[in-house]
Amino acid sequence: MKYRGGLLICTTVLTILLGMSAVADNAKADTVTTVDPTVQTEQTTTVKPDKDDTNVDTLDPHQVNTNDDSAKGIDDSLTITTPEVEQKPGGDWKVDPSEATPKNNYYYYANKDWLAEHKDDDDGTSDASLLQLQIAKDFENDLSNISAGKETADSATKSAADYYTEYLDTVNSNDVKIDSFKNDMNKIYNMKDFSDFNSQLGELIDGKYNLPFDLVIGVNYANNSKNRLNFGMKVPKQMIPMLDLDSDSIAYRSKYYDDLPKLFKLLGYDEVTSKHILDNALTFDDLLYNNSDIESVDDQMANPIVMDINDFENHFKNVDLADYIKKSYPTATDAQITDKLFFDNFNQMMSQSYFEKMKDWMLVTNVFDNYYVFGKQGRDAVKDLLFDDPSNASTPKDEAYNSTSTLFQTVMSIYYGKKNISEKTISRVDNVIKNIVSAYKERIQNNSWMSAEGKTNVLKKLSKIQINVGYPKTITAIDDYQSIGLSKMDNIYDMTKAINMYRSKVAKTDFDTSNEKGIWLMPTYTFNAFYNRSSNSINVLAGILKEPNYSENYSDSQLYGSLGVIIGHEISHAFDNSGSHYDENGNYRDTWTDEDRANFTTLVQKMINEYDGIPFNSIIVNGMQTVGENMADNGGMNVSLQVAKSLPDFDAKEFFTAWAKDWPMVDGPMIELRYSFDPHTISPIRTNVALQNIDDFYTTYNIKQGDPMWLDPSQRVNIW
């Protein structure tokens, strides 16, 4: 369906297909999204969308038979004759995967078994998404067993398990308790003016209700040791239709008017009243989006709009944010505006003439977001609104798991890490990181295009990169719910509200403390790794420490070809076209000389040109859109290969095969849609072009001019 001039993609469908998570600069092109736009992730996985910046028993495609002499050295028998014609990078996509060779399509060659196994998946999928789904499935079983007393766990994990069970029982039930929710919605309905609104403002903000605006604690990108208030428009989890006249919008509005009245009926509203509320909500929603510029959020690091806190408070006419801020954040000195158009037009939208429409927008969006509190009846009522394609709809278990994961991320991360990751594994990964950092230092010192002053600054940043491997070891105050008394509550709505209120209370208390470095921004049971620009840290999550990325049985060549490249990729994000503008402490401050920046920009443009316009099915790679991730692949491949070659028993074929087997996927319409705006190049092209920039790849497989995997040396691009 279309939404706001673009495509509103069903999050559930994309999550299943791609293993997406909502965080950071990452290495897996099935990627994750975080709240912090300075984070870049590699695998894609779950569910907290925000600007900027991831699953099942299958035949293991990653293992290489190291006793097979044909797996080592150069194999001249694989030479094929190809006409000498000008060609785009990426290889031959007309060849049958079962007949592919290293010389015509390395991605097909390395992944032919996996592709054959999944060839009938018309909707598309990826190995990363399947692995993430399996993690979720296993976790769902664990939570159920812990809640039922079939498995022991600490009290914090038991609380998470009980929350999961309560959510699941609720959404499957025909007999639910909605008195608390109904009471809170009636308080909104009964508001007459902004005096009533302001009297409830603290609870509305702290309880995470849908309001037209969002006031949250964010990072001060110029001095990230401090916190800063951020103000912008709030987007509900479940979007309501726009007023456009295209067929998709008309169809979605029809479902809106058919389905949402069923929830309002459960709250006691008659048909006429519900229709009036729904009309008002659409009108106000349209007003909001016509007076906002969501894309402006992308520019907040380079050109932040920051106001003195007194000027900020005095801007608001009817909404008494000044009183809330003085009580909640008395030491705040400024606030950052994430959407200037929305801020400038705020008082007009939040005027008494629009009050009833605003109030009804709040009602509709909060009722819709909380459909699950109505039990099975509520979920059934709005399923056509929730899911474009019922065959790809999430299950109640999925929804219970995602909600639990959102609120108990740290607790679940510790449980998963302790259960699945050994200290031996963490030690081995730490050693890989140490070796790659050392090699990166050597590569920077030998860099031919950067000045001595520039190298000094880059090396300083490299030396201060914070390394996080595995999972958090302690539960911080904001994630410690033991004082809330969740076990005494008898419905999921009260439990969720209590958690939100508690987290808001702790966040206020912690506002004056230094912005903590080392916080895990996404669940570490995510099949991913990421780099966080604002903390200058790389984060190798517990969820990615499994095949095909890691195995205790992998040779060094396999390990560095897979996980080693990913680690090098994350480090490279510190020096890509975005990360290079941040200093060693993660502050937005360019420490490069003008000459170095100019040389770097020239190389970046070469990499843009190299990838730009490469076709894959209906996708045409956008070199500008994907350049940061392509640079990270390039840097990660070069540095990890350098380390691997220095180790005993190096096997180039194992190294390159391990890289390619990280990325198998089956194309499909939703996957192609995602890659039309994803910062990663689609996996098959990503796999092959990264190899085509590496000279050792050609000598390993005796690839010659005329072979589809050949790229002329003048076209090969290497930056770090």
Report the C-alpha gap between 248 and 246 in whole angstroms.
6
Report the C-alpha gap between 658 and 132 in whole angstroms.
19
Predicted pLDDT of residue 53: 36
**Do the domain assignments include residue 257?**
yes
| End-of-domain residue from the set 403, 434, 461 | 403
**Do the domain assignments include residue 73?**
no
Asked if 218 and 363 sit in the same domain, the reply is yes
**Do the domain assignments include residue 186?**
yes
**Do the domain assignments include residue 462?**
no
Domain of 317: which CATH number? Answer: 1.10.1380.10
Domain of 569: which CATH number? Answer: 3.40.390.10
Task: Dig out the tokens for 428 from the structure.
Answer: 């081995």
Predicted pLDDT of residue 80: 36
Asked if 122 and 214 sit in the same domain, the reply is no
Dihedral sign, Cα of residue 230, residue 234, residue 238, residue 243? negative
β-strands 213-219, 227-233 pairing:
antiparallel
Task: Dig out the tokens for 519 from the structure.
Answer: 């916080």
3-class DSSP assignment, residue 230: strand
Count other C-beta atoms under 10 Å from residue 311's C-beta: 10
Q: How far is CA 49 from CA 28, 33, 413, in A?
A: 17, 6, 19
Asked if 273 and 376 sit in the same domain, the reply is yes
Asked if 113 and 246 sit in the same domain, the reply is no
**Do the domain assignments include residue 244?**
yes
3-class DSSP assignment, residue 693: coil
State the alpha helices, DSSP H only, in 179-246: 179-189, 194-199, 201-206
**Do the domain assignments include residue 43?**
no
Task: State residue 124 phi and psi, 5-degree precision.
Answer: 95, 150
3-class DSSP assignment, residue 621: coil
Scanning the structure block, which residue is given the tokens 């609120």? 407
Asked if 615 and 687 sit in the same domain, the reply is yes
Q: By the 8 A CB rule, do 477 and 502 touch? A: no
**Do the domain assignments include residue 182?**
yes
Task: State residue 432 phi and psi, 5-degree precision.
Answer: -60, -45
Asked if 112 and 188 sit in the same domain, the reply is no
Asked if 275 and 371 sit in the same domain, the reply is yes
| End-of-domain residue from the set 403, 430, 455 | 403
Predicted pLDDT of residue 93: 96
Tell me the average confidence (pLDDT) per consecutive run of 10 residues in the chain, 720 residues long: 35 34 48 47 40 30 33 35 61 96 98 94 89 96 97 96 97 95 98 98 97 93 89 93 86 94 97 97 96 71 86 98 97 95 97 98 98 96 85 88 97 97 96 97 96 96 96 94 91 97 95 74 94 93 96 97 98 96 93 96 97 94 96 98 97 98 92 88 97 98 97 95
Task: State residue 241 phi and psi, 5-degree precision.
Answer: -70, 160
Asked if 277 and 128 sit in the same domain, the reply is no
The residue count for the chain = 720
Asked if 127 and 201 sit in the same domain, the reply is no
Asked if 199 and 307 sit in the same domain, the reply is yes
Domain count for the chain, please give it: 2
Task: State residue 496 phi and psi, 5-degree precision.
Answer: -65, -45
3-class DSSP assignment, residue 199: helix
**Do the domain assignments include residue 533?**
no
| End-of-domain residue from the set 371, 403, 435 | 403
Asked if 303 and 207 sit in the same domain, the reply is yes
Asked if 185 and 331 sit in the same domain, the reply is yes
User: Of the candidates 339, 313, 337, 335, which has an alpha carbon nearest to the alpha carbon of residue 324?
Assistant: 313
Can you give the residue range of the structural domain that contains 344? 178-403
